Amino acid sequence: MDLIIIYYIWATLLVLANGVAWVATLFALPGTWGMVAMTALFAWLVPIDDGRGVSWMTVAVVAGAAGLAEVIETAAGAAGAAKLGASKRAMTLAVVGTIVGSLCGAMIALPIPLFGPILGALGGGAFGAFGGAFLGETWKGETSDESLAIGKAALIGRLLGTFGKLLVGAVMFMVVAVDAFF
Domain coordinates in residue numbering, the chain: 3-181
* pLDDT at residue 170, as a whole number: 96
Q: Residue 49's beta-bridge partner residues?
A: 52
Q: What is the pLDDT of residue 98?
A: 86
In this predicted structure, what is the pLDDT of residue 85?
Answer: 84
What 8-state DSSP symbol labels residue 51?
T
Question: What is d(CA 122, CA 26) in angstroms, rounded to the nearest whole number?
Answer: 6
Q: What is the pLDDT of residue 139?
A: 92
The per-residue pLDDT string of the chain (182 residues; one tens digit each, 9 = 90 and over) reads 788 899 999 999 999 999 999 999 887 788 999 999 999 999 999 888 777 889 999 999 999 999 999 888 877 877 778 778 888 888 889 888 988 998 899 899 988 887 888 889 889 989 999 999 999 999 988 888 999 999 999 999 889 988 999 999 999 999 999 999 98
Which residue pairs, CB below 8 angstroms and at least 24 apart, start in 153-156? 153/80, 153/81, 153/83, 153/84, 153/86, 154/77, 154/80, 154/81, 154/86, 154/90, 154/91, 154/94, 154/129, 154/130, 155/126, 155/127, 155/129, 155/130, 156/80
User: Looking at residue 91, what is its pLDDT?
Assistant: 87
- What does the pLDDT read at residue 104? 94
Question: What's residue 178's pLDDT?
Answer: 96
pLDDT at 16: 97
